[in-house]
């Protein structure tokens, strides 16, 4: 069927639903199983419901369902990827089709990094009026059928809820049922999807008029009260934020103030000035909805995309509270889910462009300090996948080392950790440097949830002990530790800790002797793993009930 498979190549594709009839007649179909997310939503700290201002990203690119529709990947050169997951809370996939089911590759990548994904339910223009009239003016039975289907779809494909965007006028009969519909949809999504969300876009007033308010006010509050959040329109001024904050009360972090990166209409700042908008939003303690950050790719072009993307998010980092890992093991080779070659164990296995977000690995923080430090994706060499993490910086004059923070943690430290590192020094004198890992901790009693800025300074700095030989029993699992190859150096460490919580994992780059000048370095990271020694002995779960069907041998 053309809905599920590309007509030219027969490959499985992600899809949307058009119109009310397609939505109401949808039922699970084994042809659509490719579109079910296979990665559970990873836990992170602080959790979504904490009272910290959040960041939502709404991805809207060229109508949606472009190269990302190919569920098993494609040979796309210079594709669009998103990888600053540590800085955001919610990812929305947006298109102008009635029911936008997020392509599964996005849900897999987001979930692996702890970010929930919402689809979009949209109605617009005169067709939208007719559609709304049909299910809202039709009474309770009609709107309940729609909300139950939307909840079923999210549950079946394992994404996390909906952005509801009705952008057309409603009749008096239809608008009477709008808040009850939103309440019912929210309850259904909460029941069907653990941690599920429904967010309303600021468009319709309580009398049914289509009029964007750019704020939360008495005209649209009834819809905010009926669901998990409001995504405001983009043309706000500071006074809108002030009134919104007052009216939202204790739910101020449930208001996502819209920021259009394309800066259409009267806006405070978009493009590389998006930070101006965010600064104001955060002054009022509100959440932010960054719309179409794909501007970096669409407007500035594909060629320098990765460089421009790091610049864009680097400028915003100050206003984006980051998230911490709270479960082990952590293992990543930093791959973005794209590349110009595929690598395995440091060797180039296959040359040619590829794109498959489902295999994107856990992404680190991307620290940037103008002129002193940059972290970026390096496509020309990797240990595994399509890229490595390139860390470039300088060791200041008179200093012997510099620490680059890769991940933050918020979890009790197990009594014993094993850590592994694969790296490669670039440049003329790689032997001048030593590369290792540093773990910081704090006393267990201080592990508070809440505002990350008030977290205490780490009070323990640990340099895990290098293991020249592996303990028996671990050798098989940590096979990489003794066989760096193709110029990659492999290191294994152990660290014993007591009564403390993990705080940060950093890369430590040292010189043997401090120099009066600054010392530049470039290091490629191929893989990092942090493992709880206690869980290493357990045998991995066995695969069961494996079936295979629909074979076509060529």
Model confidence over 151-161: pLDDT tens digits?
Answer: 999 999 999 99
User: What's the predicted TM-score (pTM) here?
Assistant: 0.95
Report the percentage of the chain scoring pLDDT > 70. 95
The Cα-based distances of 328 to 37, 396, 496, 529 in angstroms read 21, 34, 15, 9
Q: Place 367 in a pLDDT band, splitting at 50, 70 and 90.
A: confident
> Rounded to an integer, what distance in angstroms lies between the CA atom of residue 222 and that of residue 55?
23
**Neighbour count for residue 190 (Cβ, 10 Å):** 16
The answer, yes or no, to whether the previous bond of 165 is cis (omega within 30 of 0) is: no
> Could you state, in order of their start, the residue ranges of all structural domains in the chain?
16-319, 330-536
Q: Which of 138 and 179 is assigned the larger pLDDT?
A: 179
pLDDT at 479 over 80: no
Domain 330-536 matching CATH 3.30.465.10: the answer reads no
Q: Is 412 exposed, middle or buried (0-12, 13-18, 19+ CB in 10 A)?
A: middle
Upper half-sphere CA count for residue 141 (Cβ side, 13 Å): 1
pLDDT higher than 60, residue 451 = no
What is the C-alpha to C-alpha distance for residues 408 and 46, in angstroms, rounded to an integer? 11
Q: Are 420 and 328 within 8 A, CB to CB?
A: no
pLDDT for res 482: 53
Which of 48-52, 55-59, 546-550 reaches the highest mean pLDDT? 55-59
Class of domain 16-319: alpha beta
pLDDT score of 446 more than 70: no
Calpha distance 35→15 (Å, rounded)? 8
Percentage of the chain exceeding pLDDT 90: 84
Element (H, E) at 334: none
Give tens-digit pLDDT for 263-289: 999 899 999 999 999 999 999 999 999
Indicate if 330-536 has the same CATH topology as 16-319.
Answer: no
Q: Residue 476: is its pLDDT beyond 70?
A: no
CA pair distance 517, 206, nearest whole angstrom: 66
> If pLDDT is split at 50, 70 and 90, which confidence band does 460 have?
confident
Compute the 3-state secondary structure of the chain and give helix, strand, coil in percent, each to the nearest 5: 30, 30, 40
Q: Which of 236, 202, 235, 208 has its CA nearest to residue 221? A: 202
The mean-pLDDT minimum among 32-46, 110-124, 447-461 falls in: 447-461
What local confidence, expressed as pLDDT, does residue 77 receive? Answer: 94
pLDDT of residue 486: 83
Rounded CA gap, 1 and 307, in Å? 40
How high is the pLDDT of residue 552? 76
Cis peptide before 480 (omega within 30 of 0): no
Answer yes or no: is pLDDT of 449 > 50: no
The rounded mean pLDDT for the chain is 93
* SS3 assignment, position 503: strand
228/183 Cα distance (integer angstroms):
9
Largest distance between two CA atoms of the chain: 78
pLDDT tens digits, one per residue of 324-334: 999 999 999 99
State the pLDDT at residue 450: 39
List beta partners, residue 391: 375, 523
Q: What is the mean pLDDT of residues 49-57?
A: 95
Distance CA 523, CA 391 (A): 5
Which helix H or strand E contains 346, and what residues bound it?
Answer: none
pLDDT band of residue 448 (cuts 50, 70, 90) is very low
Residue 133 exposed, middle or buried by CB count within 10 Å (0-12, 13-18, 19+): middle
């Amino acid at each position: 069927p053309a809905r599920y498979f590309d007509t030219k190549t027969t490959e499985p594709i992600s899809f949307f639903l058009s119109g009310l009839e397609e939505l109401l007649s949808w039922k699970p179909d084994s042809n659509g199983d490719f579109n079910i997310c296979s990665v559970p939503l990873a836990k992170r700290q602080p959790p979504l419901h904490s009272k910290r201002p959040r960041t939502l990203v709404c991805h809207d690119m060229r109508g949606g369902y472009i190269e990302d529709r190919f569920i098993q990947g494609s040979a796309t050169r210079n594709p669009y990827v998103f990888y600053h997951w540590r800085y955001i809370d919610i990812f929305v996939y947006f298109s102008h089709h009635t029911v936008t089911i997020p392509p599964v590759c996005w849900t897999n990548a987001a979930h692996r990094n702890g970010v929930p994904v919402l689809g979009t339910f949209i109605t617009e223009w005169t067709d939208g009026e007719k559609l709304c009239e049909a299910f809202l003016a039709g009474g309770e039975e009609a709107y309940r059928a729609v909300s139950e289907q939307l909840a079923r779809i999210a549950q079946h494909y394992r994404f996390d809820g909906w952005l509801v965007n009705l952008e057309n006028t409603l009749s008096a009969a239809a608008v009477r049922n709008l808040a009850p519909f939103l309440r019912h949809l929210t309850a259904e999504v909460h029941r069907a999807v653990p941690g599920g969300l429904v967010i309303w876009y600021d468009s319709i007033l309580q009398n049914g008029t289509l009029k964007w308010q750019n704020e939360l006010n008495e005209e649209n509050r009834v819809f905010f009260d009926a669901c998990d959040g409001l995504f405001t329109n983009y043309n706000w001024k500071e006074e809108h934020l002030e009134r919104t904050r007052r009216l939202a009360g204790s739910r101020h972090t449930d208001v996502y103030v819209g920021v259009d990166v394309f800066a259409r209409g009267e806006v405070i700042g978009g493009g590389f000035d998006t930070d101006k908008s965010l600064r104001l939003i955060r002054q009022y303690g509100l959440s932010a909805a960054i719309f179409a950050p794909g501007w970096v790719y669409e407007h500035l072009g594909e060629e320098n995309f990765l460089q421009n993307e790091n610049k864009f998010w680097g400028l915003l980092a100050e206003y984006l509270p980051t998230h911490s890992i709270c479960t082990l093991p952590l293992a990543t080779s930093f791959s973005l889910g794209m590349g110009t070659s595929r690598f395995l164990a440091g060797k180039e296995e296959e040359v040619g462009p590829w794109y498959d977000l489902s295999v994107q690995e856990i992404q680190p923080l991307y620290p940037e300090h103008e002129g002193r430090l940059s972290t970026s994706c390096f496509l020309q060499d990797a240990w595994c996948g399509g890229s490595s993490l390139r860390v470039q910086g300088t060791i200041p004059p008179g200093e012997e080392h510099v620490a680059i923070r890769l991940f933050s943690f918020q979890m009790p430290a197990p009594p014993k950790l094993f850590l592994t590192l694969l790296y490669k020094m670039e440049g003329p004198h790689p032997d001048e440097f030593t590369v290792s890992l540093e773990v910081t901790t704090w006393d267990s009693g201080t592990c508070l949830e809440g505002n990350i800025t008030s977290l205490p300074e780490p009070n323990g700095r640990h340099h895990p002990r290098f293991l020249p030989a592996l303990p028996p029993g671990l050798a098989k699992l940590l096979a990489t530790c003794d066989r760096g190859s193709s110029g990659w150096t492999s290191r294994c460490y152990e660290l014993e800790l007591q009564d403390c919580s993990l705080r940060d994992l950093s890369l430590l780059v040292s010189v043997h002797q401090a120099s009066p000048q600054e010392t530049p370095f470039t290091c490629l990271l191929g893989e990092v793993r942090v493992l709880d020694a206690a869980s290493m002995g357990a045998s991995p779960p066995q695969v069961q009930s494996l079936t295979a069907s629909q074979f076509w041998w060529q």
